[in-house]
Structure 1
Amino acid sequence: MKKIIMILLTLVVMSGCSAVTKSTSSPEPYSVGILLSDSGLGDDSFNDLAFNGLERSRDELGIIFDYAEAPDGNMEGALEELINQKHDLIIGLGFSVQEALEIEAKKHPKQAFLLIDATSDLENVTSVTFKEHEGSFLVGMVAAMTSKTGTVSFIGGEDAPVIHKFQSGFEQGARYAKSDINILTGYTNSFNDLNAGERLAGDQIKKKSDFIYAAAGMSGIGSLKTAQAKGVLSAGVDADQFFIAEKSVATSMMKNVDIAIYNFIDNTLNEKKQTPSSYELGLSENGVGLAQIRIVNLKPDQMKKLDEAKEKIISGDIDVEAP
């Protein structure tokens, strides 16, 4: 990773036959570029969290940053633009950017990259992934505990391995809380299709689902709003999405992308050891978690079971299997 460039400013003031020289030095700010994922800025979820992490890094650590989007799908071009801006670090957000990022990383071996939600073996790429299945386990428990129909459901965006982790954890948690729970699943095949999210949520509600967990980006927002319109409970994802549908969202599975980005930059600037080329963050690392539970009132024994499950996952007594 490039070191912060030091600029030496020398002021020479001459008076008669004598000269007085003063030297001051100030480092250039550490610079970060980020390529956002498909749904772009303003998704109240994954992208906005990453942006928040960079804003915090700017305010508290003094970095500067810029961002790029690739609505036309030209991720290599967007990454090239960021590379040409000479950033110290370039972040690729989301598994869909991996192929383009690795192409650019091979072309620019001295450029440092951070890949979030996928794992790369390249030397100049650090990877950060999350144990979404651990946080989703807790959401599944809340869903099963609050369901009156005995049917709950999951909505994914693209049919991809990282989304399978959300689904698998949700299913395991729901069955841990209630072994005979009925679970419906479906995919919108897009992270950016509100209508598809609305339609799929509507179909699941017709099949008696009274709790919908959506891990589908902007498509998921359509699902949450439909759940609210139909009077059923739901759970958000990545960020606390309560304010999207305040009469429906009982909790959210927090995926702390903002904290991961801030900590990585902080460690880099303070030269703290970061020997692994990849990091996987779960409940014990505060990489994932559960947002405040609202709207519903869990019974004391249910809250106890939920808290105990979290501690057992952290201790390893409960092994939430990844798909």
Structure 2
Amino acid sequence: MRLFKTAILCAALSLGVLTTIAEAATRVAFVTAEGGLGDHSFNDMINEGLKKAKSDLGIEFVVIQPRAVSDMQSSLIRAAGQKFDLVLGASFDMIEPMKAAAAAFPDQKFGIIDVGSDPIAPNVVGAVAKDWEGSFIVGIAAAMTSKTGTIGFVGGRDIPVIHRFFNGYYYGAKMAKPDINVLERYSGSFTDPAAGKEYTLALVSAKSDVNFAVANLTGAGVIDAAKSTKTFAIGVDSNQNGRAPGTVLTSMVKRVDVLAYDIVKSVTDGSFKGGVNKQYGLKEGGVEAAMDDNNKGLISEATLKTMDELKAKVISGEIVVPNYIDLDPSAKQMGTPPMDRPSEK
């Protein structure tokens, strides 16, 4: 009887421990950037990182999708008010809203992905995928693949973070092929595929046969236009090669899934430390040009070799790809080795 009671007591204690563990699961709120889930791009990649954290680390997470940029601050504050262990946001548009939320909730841990070099607040960890380095690599591919000598770029909005992509793309293209013509356009929206298609068709009319889409949902229109005109598109953020096999030359993948996972892990293992912005470039595996069966054979062996050689020089520090946000506005050149900056649009 005594053994039986002891067994019951042990079982009850074990159940209590399990209940405590379940209650102690790290809770994360992800407030998406403009476009929300289903963008096949930035937000979806972060969501994949959180799914992995759930599988590996046992976290629980919810996704909050602001209807507009103007709703971001209220979404962050609402999440902080529910005392999540981490409130994770994304995009340049969320910097000011997060500063306000972080000031209102100084004991709340926040994370933000895709920012600049400056820390946001003492209770915020920032993480940046060096998209300018990834754009440099796909710029090489675009320039060396083009048959017309003209390539293009379709940005969602005319803002510094998108110029960061363009400058990297331009720098890589010009380094690989100095006489390449690089056209730059901005659709004005991250959520308008029709505009993406319209702008791309205009670029194709201007002889651009490879066009880099940095426009979230608007980029679907860039890929659609490339398919209909038998030209090439380059995807962004996630691997979009499979969206139109044979049409998407490659994709500049920002491993924001890795960034999100790392921020969450810092909360679960107790190493979270606010007031810093971490950077993930080619050296850290934070960006890459996607290669798979969907784009196999589209990029020549000679081009792949050049991409690998120049990538190695970026990793070693011999080449420093310019980050638009850190450039002196009065500087006429950029990068190492120095190159003339692109002329104004």
- In the superposition, the TM-score normalised over structure 2's length comes to 0.84
- Tell me whether 1:37 sits opposite 2:38 in the alignment: no
Identity level (%): 36
Name 1:137's counterpart in structure 2: 136
- Cα deviation, 1:47-105, whole Å, max 9, x if unaligned, reads 00011111111111100000101114311221222123221000111111111111111
Q: Is the 8 A contact 2:30 2:64 kept in 1?
A: yes
- Tell me whether 1:95 sits opposite 2:92 in the alignment: yes
Name 2:185's counterpart in structure 1: 186
Name 1:77's counterpart in structure 2: 74
Name 1:4's counterpart in structure 2: none
Matches within 5 A, 1:111-260: 111-118=108-115, 119-260=118-259
Name the CA distance, whole Å, in 2 between partners of 1:29 and 1:297. Answer: 46
Name 1:3's counterpart in structure 2: none
Name the CA distance, whole Å, in 1 between partners of 2:206 and 2:297. Answer: 22
One-letter amino acid matched to 1:29: A
One-letter amino acid matched to 1:39: G
Task: Please report how far the alpha carbon of residue 108 of structure 1 lies from its aligned counterpart in structure 2 after TM superposition.
Answer: 0.5
Q: Report the structure, 1 or 2, having the larger strand content.
A: 1
- Tell me whether 1:109 sits opposite 2:110 in the alignment: no
Name 1:5's counterpart in structure 2: none
266-275 or 219-228, larger mean C-alpha shift? 266-275
79-88 or 189-198, larger mean C-alpha shift? 79-88
228-237 or 302-311, larger mean C-alpha shift? 302-311
Aligned-residue CA RMSD (Å): 1.9
Task: Flag the 1:272–1:278 CA change in 2: closer, same or farther, 3 A.
Answer: same
Higher relative contact order (CA 8 A, sep 6+): 2
Helix, strand or coil at the partner of 1:179: coil
Name the CA distance, whole Å, in 1 between partners of 2:272 and 2:199. Answer: 46
Q: Is the 8 A contact 1:146 1:296 kept in 2?
A: no
Task: Please report how far the alpha carbon of residue 266 of structure 1 lies from its aligned counterpart in structure 2 after TM superposition.
Answer: 2.2
Task: Please report how far the alpha carbon of residue 306 of structure 1 lies from its aligned counterpart in structure 2 after TM superposition.
Answer: 1.2
Name the CA distance, whole Å, in 2 between partners of 1:299 and 1:186. Answer: 27
Helix, strand or coil at the partner of 2:318: coil
How many pairs align?
306
Task: Please report how far the alpha carbon of residue 322 of structure 1 lies from its aligned counterpart in structure 2 after TM superposition.
Answer: 1.3
Q: Which runs of 5+ in 2 are unaligned?
A: 325-345
Helix, strand or coil at the partner of 2:284: coil
Name the CA distance, whole Å, in 1 between partners of 2:211 and 2:173. Answer: 12
- Cα deviation, 1:251-276, whole Å, max 9, x if unaligned, reads 00010000111122223322357587
- In the superposition, the TM-score normalised over structure 1's length comes to 0.90
Name the CA distance, whole Å, in 1 between partners of 2:296 and 2:247. Answer: 8
Name the CA distance, whole Å, in 2 between partners of 1:317 and 1:185. Answer: 27
Name 1:10's counterpart in structure 2: none
Task: Please report how far the alpha carbon of residue 247 of structure 1 lies from its aligned counterpart in structure 2 after TM superposition.
Answer: 3.0
Q: Is the 8 A contact 1:225 1:244 kept in 2?
A: no
Task: Please report how far the alpha carbon of residue 284 of structure 1 lies from its aligned counterpart in structure 2 after TM superposition.
Answer: 0.6
292-301 or 83-92, larger mean C-alpha shift? 292-301
- Cα deviation, 1:107-144, whole Å, max 9, x if unaligned, reads 11000000111244310111111211110011011001
Q: Which runs of 5+ in 1 are unaligned?
A: 1-14
Name the CA distance, whole Å, in 1 between partners of 2:82 and 2:245. Answer: 41
